[in-house]
Structure 1
């Protein structure tokens, strides 16, 4: 998995770094710490935008009690019902299916 430091994320999105921090606070994007630095998986970006549906999925998982690390693991875990990984389904414009599965985890 390719990981991008926050300044690279800001460059790719064409945003100031403060806006990237705001996206993280608002759960529109997810970062994890690696060697003390916050990084974002490159798969979370689609060109110069955040992958459609990612923010909503992160929010649903967070509201279900998932930590950022657990959310990351879930997004990258194979799911035979999709089929594939949730992050791939989001990138393939199947966000509704991913969100339904995330919502089912809350119950």
Structure 2
């Protein structure tokens, strides 16, 4: 069964997934889509339109930069890397809190 492709409603979650997909290598939008398809087997994935609009927004906000030889390819900036680390840490902390709450539930 494939993951739903209706997109993700939470912009920050979509941004974080795209940043994480770019952390491994310089990629164009279609490579980001493939990485998300392969890496997020369960749950919702951003749609094609969401990925490309997210890349443009992240570029405008200086979290990713375009390649000098091929402007279709993007890579994380130092700021983008710090934002990704911060968001990943926050998500891990939130998940730990949820699991702790489930352990004390009656």
Is TM more than 0.5 here?
Answer: no
Q: Please state which structure has a larger fraction of its residues in helix.
A: 2
TM-score for both structures, normalised by structure 2: 0.30
Task: Decide which structure has the larger Cα Rg and report it.
Answer: 2
Q: Which has the higher contact order (CA 8 A, sep 6+)?
A: 2
